[in-house]
Amino acid sequence: MSHQSGIQVSEELAKTFAEAVADGNTRILRVSIINESLTPNGSTPVKGNFEQDYDDITSFLEDTTPAYILMRLDTKASSGEYEWLLVTYVPDHAKVRDKMLYASTRNTLTKELGDYRFTDTLYGTLSSEVSLDGYRKHQKHKAAEAPLTQRERELAEIKQAEAKAVSDYQGTTTRKSYAPGVAFPVTEKAQEALRVLNQSKEAREHNFVSLVFDKETIDLDTASHVPRSEIKNAIPAHAPRFTFYVCEHESDGNTQESIVFVYTCPPSSKIREKMLYSASRANIIKAAESMADLKVVKKLETSDPTDITEEYLLEELAPPVSTRPSSSSSVDSRGSGSSVVSDRIQMLGGTRAGGFKRPVPPGRRRPTGNQS
């Protein structure tokens, strides 16, 4: 399970925040870890609108001291309460122990004050990153649609062509199942960790999220920053896991980031574990896409995490030019539409049913297409 600091919300903070939620007159509330407890440490009232009051945050930022800043938004939830923004400020010059404490205590803070009240989070190590301009860039990044590479656009076209072909063949009255299997609830802690993967590289606290079954729920196992060369060692080899990883790679001469999903299930796993993880893998991807707005570019599975090497990831995300389809491959007057789609899927490394790619042990020839 992920490590927690053991620091709890003080009675004073619980009371202060409850009053701020009830009367709606507090704009900013700073929270600090004082005497091993989360304690209120300054506040400002609502004076204008959110952006007009935002600059007051600078009075709470110090060069060497981390802080949580709770900011009341001007929008309201369906319950009638104002929504809140959580700003986690951990300066580079802070002590290492303080950095670790604030990083491992944030989930406790939001959980005890009410996860549902915080509709957005902002993280920064510089005052400029949590300034009003930094917040606007954060909002713009969230709203922006991720650019597609030529390969991604072709995959999207293939999916559309397949969907149309299936619809034309089966008719509109056919019932379709998009995510067969078992859907277990995903904890808020796990959802929050997944949402971080959507943040910009500069703001992102981690690029690796491992999920685990725990008491009939899917919970957070670990969330950390893992270099590409170390991912094979970061995935547990003793038990099944669902892993989401932001992989930086080159594509058509440009540096970009893609989210990779890895399902691992060692042969030594218990039968019940194998059944639960196998039956849930499609639904956990669907949950990540809907709850955390993630776009999973590549889905992999293996019984041995050491298969997931840096070289293999880069090969999957940016195959050599010689293995890519030429533009002329999109049209083939000699074969049926279904044959063309199948050929293009194999050349692009996809699957007809959104299946998983299994790595091949070193020294063996890789298949030309995915295997479900």
Structure confidence at residue 159 (pLDDT): 58
Structure confidence at residue 152 (pLDDT): 63
Q: Are strands 37-45 and 8-9 parallel, antiparallel or unpaired?
A: parallel
Structure confidence at residue 200 (pLDDT): 86
The reported pTM is: 0.44
Tokens for 245? 């990883």
Structure confidence at residue 150 (pLDDT): 62
4 in helix, strand or coil?
A: coil
280-324 confidence digits (pLDDT tens): 888 899 888 888 888 999 999 999 999 999 999 888 887 655 444
Amino acid at 322: S
Q: Which residue has the tokens 């407890």?
A: 37
Q: Measure the CA angle with vertex 109, ends 108 and 110; round to 5°.
A: 95
Phi-psi region of 114 (alpha: psi -120 to 50; beta: other; left: phi over 0): left
Asked, colleague to colleague, whether 8-142 and 177-318 share their fold, the answer is: yes
Alpha-carbon distance of 314 to 249, in angstroms, equals 7
Tens-level pLDDT at each residue, the chain (372 residues) = 344 557 899 999 999 999 999 999 999 999 999 998 999 999 999 999 999 999 999 999 999 999 999 999 999 988 889 999 999 999 989 998 888 889 888 888 998 999 889 999 999 899 999 999 999 988 888 776 556 666 666 566 555 655 554 444 444 443 433 344 556 888 999 999 999 998 888 888 999 999 998 877 899 999 999 999 999 999 998 899 999 999 988 877 788 889 999 999 998 888 888 888 888 888 899 888 888 888 999 999 999 999 999 999 888 887 655 444 444 333 343 344 444 444 443 433 344 444 555 665 444 444 333 443
Structure confidence at residue 336 (pLDDT): 41
Please state which of the four CATH numbers 1.10.10.10, 3.40.50.410, 3.90.550.10, 3.40.20.10 is assigned to the domain occupying 177-318: 3.40.20.10
Structure confidence at residue 5 (pLDDT): 58
Longest Cα separation, the chain: 76
As assigned by CATH, the class of the 8-142 domain is alpha beta
The H-assigned helical ranges of 24-131 are 50-54, 96-113
Domain parsing of the chain, residue ranges: 8-142, 177-318
Contact 38, 18 (CB under 8 A): no
DSSP 232-297: HHHS-SSS-EEEEEEEEEEETTEEEEEEEEEEE--TTS-HHHHHHHHHHHHHHHHHHHHHS---EE
The H-assigned helical ranges of the chain are 11-23, 50-54, 96-113, 132-143, 150-170, 188-196, 231-234, 271-291, 310-317, 337-348
**88 closest CA partner among 192, 226, 220, 208:** 192
**275 closest CA partner among 325, 213, 205:** 213
Structure confidence at residue 86 (pLDDT): 95
Alpha-carbon distance of 302 to 307, in angstroms, equals 7
Q: For the stretch 335-350, what's the b/e string if a residue is b when 16 or more beta carbons lie within 10 angstroms of its beta carbon?
A: eeeeebbbbbbbbbbb
Alpha-carbon distance of 26 to 221, in angstroms, equals 35
Residues whose CB is less than 8 angstroms from the CB of residue 172 and which lie 6 or more positions away in sequence, other chains included = none
